[in-house]
Chain A
């Protein structure tokens, strides 16, 4: 996300993007691509959902599901924790 912000700032400051119409700013295509990859706005994909945590914990206790640590490929926002 930090990389996204840096690249977006760089793009707005140095790539000559100009305001377009009334208050809209056209971003370079590459930045739009990065935003699409990093953002949650993906109408073509399944949405991110809030789980019913009470149910999840019940299922985990019963053995139906597992809460197996998935620390292998995950990033945590340490600054906000």
Chain B
């Protein structure tokens, strides 16, 4: 058919005839030209603590200007932000916020970074790129909170402007990605390696869903992959599931499951393993990988103690991985 285009942004590689839009719902073929429907039109705008992303080793205690456009190229049955991520652009009233306005607002609110978060930032990559370029020019960092379901080419171009990323590694099982998320595993693993190699500060989140991906062996395999491919200093967050969207028939993740996963991952050699979406005593604390002293203590999203000086433990001077200042 005349005017057919193929979007090669993400692994879905949607082939679109005029009038069709991709699986993300936000990239549309208009008379043979692919357009983004959400450029400069975020549907969520907030000032958040960076700990909420979660990023525990990147500018702790700072505020980040957080934006999200509608749409996502996955359709996770447990999505915690499904009202906007699974919505089409016509379903949610947007703000008019071009890149310049995002940067101006972030500075006005005293933020140190802009986070592209809540939904999938990769599906509005043009908006993210243009904003991130401007942000860097004006001294602001850029943070991606992403499922990482994107092709290597676009990712590598964008990574140049990204300072930190939290990537959802939803499972280490390809069938889980297919059955529960509408995607595949391999591209996500590639994304993690590419971001790490590009010098972006990377933290990993795994949402532990009861009965679906909470097996001890699976969680061990996931932690082992992070250890082997991203290194022992990469923070790993085991996050608590709450019944949501299409998985309302499952209970919240037991705290014991998360604590056990954390202990296992620490025992395997990862230095920084956290528990998210839950109140725990040890699961929110950053410890020195050498002397074990408590370095960063958090209560909720609030940093209550910070014993890191010049990127090192203030007790034994062991370097602690992260971007601390």
Interface residues of A in 11-42 (CB under 8 A from B): 37-38, 40, 42
Instruction: Determine if A74 and B3 form an interchain contact, defined as CB atoms under 8 angstroms apart.
Output: no
Interface residues of A in 26-71 (CB under 8 A from B): 37-38, 40, 42, 44-51, 53, 55-56, 59, 63-71
Residues of A within 8 A of B (CB-CB), count: 34
Partner of A49, one of B9, B11, B25, B183: B25
Q: In the docked arrangement, what's the CA distance between A55 and B90, Å? A: 9
Q: In the docked arrangement, what's the CA distance between A49 and B90, Å? A: 14
Partner of B35, one of A1, A45, A50, A68: A68
Instruction: Determine if B28 and A73 form an interchain contact, defined as CB atoms under 8 angstroms apart.
Output: no
Q: In the docked arrangement, what's the CA distance between A60 and B25, Å? A: 15
B301 CB-CB contact with A under 8 Å: no
Known: A47-B23, A48-B20, A64-B90. A72 touches B35 (CB 8 A): no
Q: In the docked arrangement, what's the CA distance between A34 and B167, Å? A: 26
Contact-size category for B: 35 or more
Known: A51-B21, A73-B7, A76-B5. A44 touches B179 (CB 8 A): yes
Determine the chain B residues whose CB is within 8 A of the CB of A47 once the complex forms: 23
Determine the chain B residues whose CB is within 8 A of the CB of A67 once the complex forms: 28, 30, 35, 37
Instruction: Determine if B3 and A48 form an interchain contact, defined as CB atoms under 8 angstroms apart.
Output: no
Q: Is the interface of A mostly helix, strand, loop or mixed?
A: loop
Which candidate, B38-46, B221-229, B274-282, is the interface stretch facing chain A? B38-46
Q: In the docked arrangement, what's the CA distance between A48 and B178, Å? A: 17
Instruction: Determine if A75 and B5 form an interchain contact, defined as CB atoms under 8 angstroms apart.
Output: yes
Instruction: Determine if B153 and A45 form an interchain contact, defined as CB atoms under 8 angstroms apart.
Output: no
Instruction: Determine if A65 and B37 form an interchain contact, defined as CB atoms under 8 angstroms apart.
Output: yes
- Further contacts, 14 of them, CB under 8 A, given A48-B20, A66-B41, A72-B154: A42-B182, A46-B75, A48-B22, A49-B20, A51-B20, A64-B94, A65-B94, A66-B40, A67-B30, A69-B34, A73-B153, A76-B4, A76-B6, A80-B2
Chain A interface residues toward B at CB < 8 A: 1, 37-38, 40, 42, 44-51, 53, 55-56, 59, 63-77, 80-81
Chain B interface residues toward A at CB < 8 A: 1-9, 11-16, 19-25, 27-28, 30, 32-41, 73, 75, 89-90, 93-94, 96, 125-127, 129, 151, 153-154, 178-179, 182-183
